[in-house]
């Protein structure tokens, strides 16, 4: 039976833009597991199965509810040990956490300043007020203000990708010859951006763009086929 | 027979401050291999065994010369496969490269601005002119100028450690319950700084400082016992 995934959507129910849900979708594909997604909006807290923390991803696997992308990855690894590993051995799993922490402390905070207004534009009508209010409180200014100097911030953002760039110019994936969960965590951030924004974050000749292309091709191109802008 | 390591030294021949040599010393200890170090100065290019690139670390193991810290780690892993692994499996090894690239693209470039004048102060008399000239060309200003605003740069430097901090506050080592090469790469940078500078980079309650303490204690405290300043 397919696993059910509650997946963030906006006005268009097939445009899916949560970086955390993309981690989970890539992890499910890596494990070769079937999934059925249910589009979910920011304000539909009461539509999620229990337990949850009011956020997606949440999965239901054979009656079991698991929430939080990190917990889901660990659950899948433990529940499906004979499917391809998401982490490799104990060192691989621990080092994946460093990549995840870099993604959450450097990459995603960098990205949000480019795309937060585009997220609002794509959010479902009933979500827009909630989204604007919560994010403007966080930034201390309007969403329009956050993104208005994004062209000027692009060089510094690209510089911040240096550790990723050097890695994927020297090996095909963060996890080596084949992709694994570390790749999906970083890719989730880029797929988030390209799903809701036509702002091109990467130069065409950036090794990071080439790696992103390899990720878009993975698993029969599930990410490439999903509604998104260029890049 | 002990492995021979050419190890960067300054005026005091037992104060060893190369971050790359520290990677190698920790890796040798991890593998449980004996080492005899030979103090080497920046300008003693002709004293290194062939082949080399005019830099340390260089090791001689049973007549074999290996240079470059990354090449040495791979050599040790291959040559001593039954000693504790430096990387774990293929994913662990690939992900170690991301940590290394973060260290070389973010951590070490951040650190040099705090300690470059202290390196010069500790460099051997015959190395000081070479060191000053090459580094001042790189920075485009005097060594004194590079470090003069270091207090003001400290908050941004500490912020840049966020991915490391979050990782080591949630697990004992980058590589998990036990340290491995990824830890030695990052630690090499901190040991470089503390070996030649009394400038305290970390707040006392920083989880990174606690991790550094665990690294200083590793392998009977080889790094803690080495000549260095506090921290």
Domains, chain A, with CATH or none: 3-79 (3.40.30.10), 90-225 (1.20.1050.10)
User: Chain B contact for A170, CB < 8 A?
Assistant: yes
CA distance A192 to B219: 44
Beta-bridged to residue A64, according to DSSP, are A61
Nearest to A77 by CA among A92, A63, A58: A92
CA distance A166 to A174: 10
State whether A174 and B94 contact (CB < 8 Å).
Answer: yes
**pLDDT of residue B171 exceeding 90:** yes
Residues 81-140 of B with CB under 8 A from A: 85, 87-99, 101-102, 104-106
Average pLDDT by stretches of 10, chain A with 231 residues: 96 96 98 98 95 97 98 98 98 98 98 96 94 96 96 97 98 98 98 96 97 98 94 65
State whether A163 and B92 contact (CB < 8 Å).
Answer: no
For tokens 């890695």, the residue is: A167
CA distance B158 to B194: 16
When pLDDT is averaged across residues B99-126 and rounded to a whole number, the result is 97
pTM over 0.80: yes
CA distance A65 to B102: 36
CA distance B167 to chain A (A): 6
Percent pLDDT > 70 in chain B is 100
State whether A88 and B87 contact (CB < 8 Å).
Answer: no
CA distance B200 to B208: 13
When pLDDT is averaged across residues B184-201 and rounded to a whole number, the result is 97
Kindly state the tokens that stand for B70. 């990354």
Contact between B76 and B33 (Cβ < 8 Å): yes
Q: For Cα atoms B160, A196, A125, give the angle at the middle one, nearest 5 degrees.
A: 115
Count of alpha carbons within 13 angstroms of residue B29, beta-carbon side? 21
Q: Which residue of chain B is at minimal alpha-carbon distance from A100?
A: B163
CA distance B72 to chain A (A): 18
Condensed to tens digits (0 to 9), the pLDDT of residues B148-159 reads 999 999 999 999
**pLDDT of residue B71 exceeding 80:** yes
Residues 3-42 of B with CB under 8 A from A: none
When pLDDT is averaged across residues B37-44 and rounded to a whole number, the result is 95
Q: What are phi and psi of A10, to 5 degrees?
A: -125, -140
Q: Is A146 exposed, middle or buried (0-12, 13-18, 19+ CB in 10 A)?
A: buried
The radius of gyration computed from the CA coordinates of chain A, to the nearest angstrom, equals: 17
pLDDT of residue B132: 97
Mean per-residue pLDDT of chain B? 97
Whole-angstrom CA distances from B217 to B52, B187, B192, B213, B220 are 32, 12, 16, 6, 6
Tell me, what DSSP letter sits at residue A171?
S
pLDDT of residue A49: 97
CA distance B55 to B52: 7
CA distance A131 to A126: 9
Nearest to A23 by CA among A79, A92, A104: A104
pLDDT of residue A52: 95
State whether A102 and B102 contact (CB < 8 Å).
Answer: yes
Closest in B88, B105, B171 to A89, CB measured: B88
Contact between B115 and B193 (Cβ < 8 Å): yes
Contact between A101 and B167 (Cβ < 8 Å): yes
Nearest to B186 by CA among B71, B92, B106, B87: B106
Beta-bridged to residue A67, according to DSSP, are A58
Please state the separation of Cα B36 from the chain's center in Å: 18
Interface pTM, i.e. ipTM: 0.97
Q: Which residue of chain B is at minimal alpha-carbon distance from A167?
A: B98
Q: Which residues of A touch B71 (CB under 8 A)?
A: none
**pLDDT of residue B231 exceeding 90:** no
Nearest to B26 by CA among B231, B220, B228: B220
Give yes or no for a cis peptide into B85 (omega within 30° of 0).
no
When pLDDT is averaged across residues B168-190 and rounded to a whole number, the result is 98
CA distance A209 to A225: 17
């Amino acid at each position: 039976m397919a696993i059910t995934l509650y997946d963030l959507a906006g006005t268009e129910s097939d445009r899916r833009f949560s970086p955390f849900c993309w981690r989970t979708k890539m992890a499910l594909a890596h494990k070769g597991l079937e999934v059925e997604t249910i589009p979910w909006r920011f304000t539909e807290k009461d539509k999620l199965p229990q337990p949850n923390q009011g956020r997606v991803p949440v999965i239901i696997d054979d009656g079991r509810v698991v929430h939080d992308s990190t917990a889901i990855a660990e659950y899948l690894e433990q529940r499906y040990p004979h499917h391809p590993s998401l982490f490799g051995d104990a060192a691989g799993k621990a080092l994946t956490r460093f990549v995840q922490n870099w993604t959450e402390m450097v990459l995603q905070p960098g990205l949000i300043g480019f795309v937060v207004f585009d997220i609002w534009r794509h959010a479902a009508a009933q979500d827009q007020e909630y989204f604007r209010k919560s994010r403007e409180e966080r930034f201390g200014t309007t969403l329009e203000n956050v993104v208005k100097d994004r062209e000027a911030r692009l060089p510094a953002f690209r510089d911040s990708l240096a550790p990723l760039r050097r890695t994927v110019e020297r090996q095909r994936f963060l996890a080596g010859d084949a992709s694994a969960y570390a790749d999906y965590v970083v890719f989730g951030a880029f797929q988030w951006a390209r799903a809701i924004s036509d702002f091109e974050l990467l130069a065409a000749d950036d090794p990071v763009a080439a790696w992103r292309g390899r990720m878009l091709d993975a698993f029969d191109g599930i990410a490439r086929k999903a509604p998104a802008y260029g890049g």
